[in-house]
Copies of this chain bind each other. A is one copy, B any other.
Amino acid sequence: MLGRLNHVALAVPDLAAAIRSYEKTLGATVSVPLMLPEHGVTVVFVELPNTKIELLEALGPASPIAAFLAKSPKGGMHHICYEVTDLPAATARLVESGARILGDGTPKIGAHGRPVIFIHPGDMFGTLIELEEVSP
């Protein structure tokens, strides 16, 4: 069921500083910033040969990462996203096991335009896990 690691998301308080650090100090290739007001984040992708890292900065007062940054002002590891080919089946299996799906429990359209769910971190050993549906 579990497919590729789609991305790891790191929340940062200052995206410009994080971009500089990833580009100049770590020598990584970083995309141009993308403002996603409907998701409450500005995001860049650190392109790696086998996956990508998303650096997230809060955008707007209702940003889903504002509370995270209030608790961890320096930033930190926010979530990890795995790909699945059948999100309804994966969701049903999770619910059956007792895991809680965030929101109303149904898939939403994520930042990449594909259906996603988030699993409650309390039911996944403290890690916020996103599942994104991809074509088989």
Contacts and interface: CB of A to CB of B under 8 A. Distances in A.
A74 B121 contact: yes
A72 to B, nearest CB: 6
A11 B72 CA distance: 18
Contacts of A46: 2
A114 interface: no
- Taking residues whose C-beta sits less than 8 angstroms from the other chain, chain A's interface range is 35 or more
A125 B18 contact: yes
A3 interface: yes
Contacts of A31: none
A10 B126 CA distance: 9
A97 B46 CA distance: 19
B82 A80 contact: no
